Amino acid sequence: MAAENAQSKQARIDRIKSFILTCPDFPKPGIPFKDIMPIVQNPDVFSDTIALLEEHIKETGVEVDIVAGKLPGETVKCSYALEYGQDTIEIQKTAVKPDQNVVIVDDLIATGGTMAGACTLMETVQANVVGCLTVVELDYLKGRENLKHALHSLVHY
Ligand code: AMP
């Protein structure tokens, strides 16, 4: 039964992967940009993507208070280097209360700069980072080595 479940989980991940487009040389020469918009445009595939991430959190048994995204408002900022440039992320100062358990979700991890920056931001507002989730991981960039928290990704390249 466990093997059957693992197989059907892999089939679900393979279906999600089949919706990801690779755009060569975007936004700069040499960058294989992973476009997940077709996932977002297909409600069934999008909801299964979220379900798989949620199932992972349930399996790990961590208690989560907050799922973190990118928010407006009075903010704390963090700048970092991207695979193809520089970026800044922000969090509302009041978005998280001290000691809340936060799981950070992003579409993709490349070098890990964004995820590491998000973890730093959360620690700045005294939250506990209990895990990091992404739909896509570019294994060849070894981004997870830049993280001190557990990372779970669905689709690997
Ligand atoms: P990084 O900080 O290098 O891990 O980059 C992760 C962030 O940049 C994610 O939020 C992605 O949206 C974006 N990103 C970086 N590289 C790519 C790529 N090859 N394809 C799509 N998005 C990317």
CATH number at residue 84: 3.40.50.2020
pTM of the model: 0.88
Distance CA 107, CA 35 (A): 10
Q: What are the backbone angles phi and psi of residue 66, rounded to the nearest 5°?
A: -135, 140
Count the domains in the chain.
1
Q: What is the mean pLDDT of the chain?
A: 91
Question: Which ranges constitute the DSSP H helices of the chain?
Answer: 2-18, 37-41, 43-60, 113-124
**Which pLDDT score is estimated for 93?**
81
Kindly report, residue by residue over 108-145, the tens digit of the pLDDT.
999 999 999 999 999 988 999 999 999 999 999 999 99
Structural domain boundaries, residue 28: 2-156
Atom of ligand 1 nearest to the CA of 111: 3
The number of residues making up the chain comes to: 157
- Residue nearest to ligand 1 atom 19, measured at CA: 33
Kindly report, residue by residue over 51-71, the tens digit of the pLDDT.
999 999 999 999 999 887 755
| Average pLDDT estimate for 68-95 | 79
Testing ligand 1's pocket by substitution, the residue of 20, 31, 114, 140 carrying the most ligand atoms inside 8 A of its CB is 114
